[in-house]
């Protein structure tokens, strides 16, 4: 009897892309179409990785890092496409909003960390390159769609914002095809579309460092959520310090106060940038920033295990 009706089904897919685990769950009235869409999402994630990875020599980001830092780029800025313009514009916006806590030029020093090999830049190297860290060195002309770097040692990395952007792109792709229930995550950055057919999506915030399982579970619909943690990429140095991948642009070193920051808001583009920002700002300044913005909430776990909630969550409005 059902043979003439398309078979409605949940589709779940996972793949390793962007140095992390990408997961897609979606509900579609036509399972074959749902599977095709899940494959398209993975394709889009791969495209974003190929375009914005600093680790791929052939990426557009690597081209920028090679060309835009050359002194002659000042007179002849490097042409970029609309998407790169948007990513840089958003990144620089968060640079200004956070007074440089979020700073894509952190990588001028940050590029010399090798977390797998347990290597950090030497103090003299870090000192020498410190002046290259300043998002204001990145001169973007939005109308012309061009960019140059004002300092020859500037090197940018979009790792603090690109995965959030990618989950937005994935959700838009699904939404444009009429999907009403979906969840897409790329490591710590997730976005859910609609609900899970009558129930909210349950998104867990992992226990910070050392802990197994989930610290807090949040019921969510139609929202993005990003978690930054000091356990994602790290090593322990000879002094016993925990060295991780979120860098304080003022010091060129990883931050020490927080263990994890989760931001909830409408779009992954913003929640991703804000999770990294608040991680650098610390609990007090970070909470003040999130409470000042409308539409965002935060759960902050300090290294000592204290949990802070933004006003919206503390008041039970979520
Ligand atoms: P995850 O990589 O787990 O999604 P984040 O969203 O916090 O975690 O991103 C961490 C990444 O952000 C780092 O790997 C690095 O590429 C980039 N990053 C580190 N420090 C900064 C900073 N101060 N400003 C902007 N980006 C940063
Ligand atoms: Mg982030
Ligand atoms: Mg992220």
Q: What is the tens place of the pLDDT at every residue in 88-146? A: 999 999 999 999 999 999 999 999 999 999 999 999 999 999 999 999 999 999 999 99
pLDDT computed for residue 318 by the predictor: 44
With cut-offs at 50, 70 and 90, classify the pLDDT of residue 232: confident
Identify the residue with better confidence: 1 or 143.
143
pLDDT digits (tens, 9 = 90+) for 162-199: 999 999 999 999 999 999 999 999 999 999 999 999 99
Torsion of CA 142, 148, 150, 153, to 10 degrees: 130
Task: Give domain 53-149's CATH superfamily.
Answer: ApbE-like superfamily (1.10.3980.10)
CA atoms within 13 A on the CB side of 209: 21
What's CA 31's distance to the chain center, in Å?
30
Residue with CA closest to ligand 1 atom 19:
246
Q: Which two tokens stand for residue 131?
A: 């002046």
Distance 105 CA to ligand 2 centre (A): 15
- Ligand 1 pocket member 113 (CB < 6 A): no
pLDDT tens digits, 139-160: 999 999 999 999 999 999 999 9
Interface predicted TM-score of the whole assembly (ipTM), two decimals: 0.97
Index of the ligand 1 atom closest to the CA of residue 157: 16
Break the chain into its structural domains and give their ranges.
Answer: 53-149
Under 8 Å CB-to-CB from 100, ≥6 apart: which residues? 134, 135, 249, 250
């Amino acid at each position: 009897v059902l043979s003439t009706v398309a078979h409605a089904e949940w589709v779940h897919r996972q793949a390793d892309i962007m140095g992390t685990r990408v997961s897609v769950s979606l509900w579609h009235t036509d399972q074959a179409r749902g599977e095709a869409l899940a494959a398209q999402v993975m394709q889009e994630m791969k495209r974003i990785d190929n375009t914005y990875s600093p680790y791929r020599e052939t990426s557009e980001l690597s081209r920028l890092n090679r060309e835009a830092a050359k002194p002659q780029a000042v007179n002849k800025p490097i042409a970029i496409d609309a998407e790169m313009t948007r990513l840089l514009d958003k990144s620089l916006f968060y640079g200004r909003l956070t007074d440089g806590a979020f700073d894509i030029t952190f990588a001028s020093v940050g590029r010399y960390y090798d977390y797998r090999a347990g290597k950090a830049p030497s103090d003299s190297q870090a000192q020498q390159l410190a002046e290259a860290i300043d998002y204001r060195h990145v001169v973007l002309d939005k109308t012309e769609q061009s960019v140059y770097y004002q300092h020859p040692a500037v090197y940018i990395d979009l790792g603090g914002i690109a995965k959030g952007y990618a989950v937005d792109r994935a959700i838009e792709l699904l939404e444009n095809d009429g999907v009403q229930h979906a969840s897409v995550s790329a490591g710590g950055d997730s976005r859910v579309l609609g609900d899970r057919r009558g129930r909210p999506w349950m998104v867990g915030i992992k226990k910070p460092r050392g802990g197994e399982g989930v610290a807090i579970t949040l019921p969510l619909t139609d929202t993005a959520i990003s978690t930054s943690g000091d356990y994602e990429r790290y090593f322990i140095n000879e002094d016993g310090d925990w060295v991780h991948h979120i860098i304080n642009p003022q010091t060129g070193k990883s931050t020490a106060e927080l263990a994890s920051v989760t931001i909830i808001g409408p779009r992954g583009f913003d929640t991703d940038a804000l999770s990294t920002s608040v991680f650098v700002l610390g609990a007090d300044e970070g909470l003040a920033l999130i409470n000042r913005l409308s539409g965002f909430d935060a759960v902050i776990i300090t290294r000592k295990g204290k949990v802070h909630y933004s006003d919206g969550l503390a008041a039970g409005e979520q």
